[in-house]
Amino acid sequence: MSRPQTTRKKRANGVESRQRILDATVEIAGERGYEGTSIAAVSAKCGLPASSIYWHFKDKDDLIAAVIERSFETWLAAVVLPGEETGTPLERITVMAANVAKSLIDAPDFLRLGLMLALERRPTEPRGRTVFLQVRDIATQKITEVTGTVFPDLDEDALRTLATYAVAGADGLFVHREIHGDAVDLVAMFELHAQLVWDAATRMASRSKG
């Protein structure tokens, strides 16, 4: 029964070290931004030498991109998409918005780091920024499609406007909470946001139908 199952786990703590490095990086990058994230600081925080960081990651840009990717996966896992819906479409959308709000409270790193990178416009774009914008565009597209099934009378243009507005509002509310901290009831604000986007959609639909 001596399985080689333990083979790669006991072998060396490479996997754990990688996580430690990413943990330290996400913390420092969240405090100081892209340029402010120095390898020395990451090294000090995770207890591993710089050479170990460069063994696990090609360079600083690769490290930041890896942080973005991992924090995206963490956030994705935190979003509980409601299954087998009951209730009106508005209720479902509101529940969905509340879930997104909760996930952003539990796993804020992805959006925080992403927005920090997105606002910068350096000549040579960091890979992390590219990853963030791609993921974001996919999410917006998804929202567009879902909205299209709920409001089949809306044309592509209106759907895109609504999705853009929905995402932008989420960003702004998230920023507000990042600034003002736990005092902000993000879930309530997201529910209000869902309600308003719903209103806009219904108004647009009734107008386009005539």
Burial class (CB in 10 A: 0-12, 13-18, 19+), 55: middle
Residue 160 main-chain phi, psi, to 5 deg: -65, -40
Instruction: Give yes or no for a contact between 63 and 34, defined as CB atoms under 8 angstroms apart.
Output: no
**Of 23, 27, 30, 41, the one binding DNA by CB under 7 A:** 41
The site partner of 120 among DNA, a second copy, none (C-beta below 5 to 8 Å per kind) is a second copy
Q: Does 52 bind DNA (CB under 7 A)?
A: yes
Q: Is 47 or 87 the residue whose CB approaches DNA more closely?
A: 47
Instruction: Give yes or no for a contact between 118 and 132, defined as CB atoms under 8 angstroms apart.
Output: yes
Q: Does 25 bind DNA (CB under 7 A)?
A: no
The distance of closest approach from Cβ of residue 56 to DNA in the complex, given in angstroms and rounded to an integer, is 6
What angle separates helix 60-78 from helix 109-119, to the nearest 10 degrees?
140
- Candidates 44-52, 102-110, 137-145, 149-157 — which segment interacts with DNA by CB under 7 A? 44-52
Q: Does 117 bind DNA (CB under 7 A)?
A: no
Q: Does 23 bind DNA (CB under 7 A)?
A: no
Instruction: For residues 205 and 158, give the distance between their C-alpha atoms in angstroms, rounded to a whole number.
Output: 9
Name the residues that contact a second copy, by CB under 8 A.
30-36, 112, 115-116, 118-123, 133, 161, 164-165, 167-173, 175-176, 178-179, 184, 189, 192-193, 195-197, 199-200
Instruction: For residues 207 and 209, give the distance between their C-alpha atoms in angstroms, rounded to a whole number.
Output: 5
The site partner of 61 among DNA, a second copy, none (C-beta below 5 to 8 Å per kind) is DNA
184: helix, strand or coil: coil
Neighbours of 51 (CB within 10 A): 8
- Residues of this chain that interact with DNA (CB under 7 A) are 4, 6-7, 10-15, 17, 37-41, 47-52, 54-56, 59-61
